[in-house]
Amino acid sequence: MMARRTTRCNALAAILACVFLAYGAAGGRALAYTRDYMVPAAGGCPVVEQQNISVSAPPLIRQWSTSLPILEPPVIATVAAAGTPAQLTEIENTIQQAYGIWSGVTGTLVNASTFPNALGPLGETSTQNACTPDALNGTPSNPDGIDTICFNQSSSAFTTGVLSFTRVVIAEAPAQTIGTAPPPVFAGQIVDADIYFRNDGQAAFATPGALASTPGAYDLESLLAHELGHLFGLDHSGVWRAIMFPYAPPPGTYVGERPSVSSPDAPLSDDDRAGLRSLYPDPADTVDVGYITGHVLPANPFALADFPATSPGEYETGMFGAQVVAVDAASGSVIAAAVGGWSCDPSTSIVQFDGSYSLGPLPVGNSYVIYAEPFVGPVAPSDIAGAFTNLCSTGASPSCTLPAIDTNFSPRAQQ
């Protein structure tokens, strides 16, 4: 979800966030990068939430709605005149380019140069409300299994300041019946991911070609790239330069470079790339295969937010919700970041809040400096809390109670 910010920092005028909805109720060391987990209906350790993308899986089914808000000034600013076929082509090109940013990441199963059919064709629909309607009683009504982008669908999620969001519907079990979506293959599968842009004129969005001439409009390509990160299963990153950083570029601007034929994934940071590789690794990749694992532990256990445990089923022995960052020792570049905090023993299915982290996949053959820091800067605990929302979801056995995210510690580095 993206919301305009009216306090604190004017330079950061929008916040990107997302709405994650598990459909119905809901090993080992986890948490590479910032991904979301949930507990399968059948129990066991939390599993990562991701699209069904594998060598043998059918392509993603995706489309966008060509229904656009008709307001003045235009909500979707383009070089081409409003209401013309050329305008729709320009918007579709922007969507394709945004998808291409992610499918340009090497070492993944969505990489277009290696797996050209993974994403399937981008379809069009003229239906205005083609995205899954708002949730009824907490249950998204009738998701269709088509990953759809809507520019003209109203939603109660568009509260004051919200610009756009991604609604993700996740299966709790294989073969679960979820709306009219194709049966899921595994628990944790994202069966429907729809992206909504605000349509009431409270915000405007411009294609790359129209950005410079549309003061006050947000860069549509950047926002699409961010929301597509959610579509693929990524949550927010605390890395300033990441496309998954929760705050959008100010109106009229974008971060990094535009994608190009030679660098289709140019706007991404290495952290974004590591995130996608962690979800959909290409088994043939021999470069990005390194992992650094460890624990973030307090010098004094009384520093833990929930020490001693305040609820049954809570076993907090390490820092929960610390950002752990891998920096290339030679270049000084941030390569990957993760939100550390928990692990799960497959033999007992017990989730332990022991400060575990796993960073990667990282390029092998390099040296890294690792540091841990609390979310006390521009990215607040609430910005990354979505990664933990379903960690103790219904079905967790034995029961599990989320501790509070720890913020009361000082950054530490280790080489």
Rule CB under 5 A: say whether 18 interacts with Zn ion: yes
Q: Which of residues 213-272 bind Zn ion (CB under 5 A)?
A: none
The CB-of-164 to Zn ion minimum distance in angstroms stands at 9
The CB-of-20 to Zn ion minimum distance in angstroms stands at 10
Kindly indicate which of the ranges 15-23, 193-201, 302-310, 322-330 contains the residues binding Zn ion, using the contact rule CB under 5 A.
Answer: 15-23
Judged by beta carbon, residue 187 or residue 243, the one nearer Zn ion is 243
Query: What are phi and psi for residue 217, nearest 5 degrees?
Result: -90, 145
Kindly indicate which of the ranges 16-24, 141-149, 177-185, 186-194 contains the residues binding Zn ion, using the contact rule CB under 5 A.
Answer: 16-24
Rule CB under 5 A: say whether 68 interacts with Zn ion: no
Using the CB atoms, write b or e for 205-217: b if 16+ within 10 Å. bbbbebbeebeeb
The CB-of-230 to Zn ion minimum distance in angstroms stands at 6
Across the beta sheet with 334-340, the strand order is 334-340, 322-328, 368-373, 412-414
Judged by beta carbon, residue 151 or residue 245, the one nearer Zn ion is 245
- Which residue from 204, 366, 345, 355 is spatially nearest to 294, judged by alpha carbons? 355
Judged by beta carbon, residue 16 or residue 319, the one nearer Zn ion is 16
The CB-of-18 to Zn ion minimum distance in angstroms stands at 4
Judged by beta carbon, residue 224 or residue 344, the one nearer Zn ion is 224
The CB-of-4 to Zn ion minimum distance in angstroms stands at 14
Kindly indicate which of the ranges 9-17, 25-33, 118-126, 381-389 contains the residues binding Zn ion, using the contact rule CB under 5 A.
Answer: 9-17
Please pick, from the candidates 14, 16, 193, 405, the single residue that binds Zn ion as defined by CB under 5 A: 16
CA distance 105 to 96: 15
Judged by beta carbon, residue 243 or residue 304, the one nearer Zn ion is 243
Q: What is the CB neighbour count within 10 angstroms for residue 52?
A: 17
Judged by beta carbon, residue 99 or residue 409, the one nearer Zn ion is 99
Judged by beta carbon, residue 228 or residue 370, the one nearer Zn ion is 228
The CB-of-142 to Zn ion minimum distance in angstroms stands at 24
Q: What is the CB neighbour count within 10 angstroms for residue 336?
A: 33
Which tokens is 16 given? 């990107």
CA distance 132 to 149: 10
Kindly indicate which of the ranges 12-20, 186-194, 263-271, 374-382 contains the residues binding Zn ion, using the contact rule CB under 5 A.
Answer: 12-20
60: helix, coil or strand? coil
Residue nearest to Zn ion (CB): 16
Rule CB under 5 A: say whether 118 interacts with Zn ion: no
The CB-of-64 to Zn ion minimum distance in angstroms stands at 19
CA distance 155 to 223: 18
> Where in 305-408 does DSSP place strands (E)?
316-318, 322-328, 334-340, 343-345, 350-354, 356-363, 368-373
> Can you state the angle between helices 220-232 and 270-279, rounded to 10 degrees?
30
User: Would you put residue 236 in left (φ > 0), alpha (ψ -120 to 50) or beta?
Assistant: beta
CA distance 336 to 363: 10
Judged by beta carbon, residue 17 or residue 224, the one nearer Zn ion is 17
CA distance 247 to 93: 24
Kindly indicate which of the ranges 13-21, 253-261, 317-325, 388-396 contains the residues binding Zn ion, using the contact rule CB under 5 A.
Answer: 13-21
The CB-of-236 to Zn ion minimum distance in angstroms stands at 6
The CB-of-22 to Zn ion minimum distance in angstroms stands at 17
CA distance 190 to 146: 11
Which residues make up the interface to Zn ion (CB under 5 A)?
Answer: 16-18
